[in-house]
Amino acid sequence: MLYRIKFISDEVDGFLREIKIDSEATFLDLNKAILDSCGYPDDQMTSFYVCDDEWERGQQITREDVSEPGHEDEDLYVMANTRLSEFIEDEEQKFEYVFDPFSERVFYLDVKELIPGENLDAPVLLRSKGEAPQQVEELDLSIMPTTGKGSNFFDEDEAGEFYGDGDFNTDDLDLEGFEFSDGGDY
């Protein structure tokens, strides 16, 4: 069986991709197809969320095993080990695909058609409209803390010292309560 999956972005008007993929493909295969269709490098911790009809997030399917020690009994799905058929049973199944994990930016995926009796070796891009949004938002360095002189936190001041270096006076250091050994290793 094949799935025809359409995805869009709420950031870019006119952006649309449609992929045909085998039901036995993994979420990692779908991940790669999405990245390729948008021209994105494969260097982010992307993930999928299974969504209900109202786009409320349910089960997460992660790129890597991110389980915490002591929580091994919780259901964890990793893209490479999870087949699409495990979560897609009907048309209109919805997913969110997080392509920018730091800003939680997503594509909205919708299974548009189930095509019985066919198989594919690799996903096929059926339709591509519009430019994909930038994969990772640029950091806004204007919000970085400053030294009060209007310079960036990491800039050197007029004396060639980094922020904070010139304000330290060793006479202000109170050594009471610190123990030093005579062994030479501190």
Q: Please report the domains of the chain, with CATH numbers, ordered by start residue.
A: 2-129 (3.10.290.30)
pTM, to two decimals: 0.72
The parts of the chain modelled with pLDDT lower than 70 are 67-74, 138-186
What pLDDT is recorded for position 146?
A: 54
pLDDT score recorded for residue 19:
98
pLDDT score at 118: 83
* Selection from 100, 88, 80, 116 nearest residue 5 by Cα: 88
CA distances from 152 to 97, 148, 166 (A): 35, 9, 16
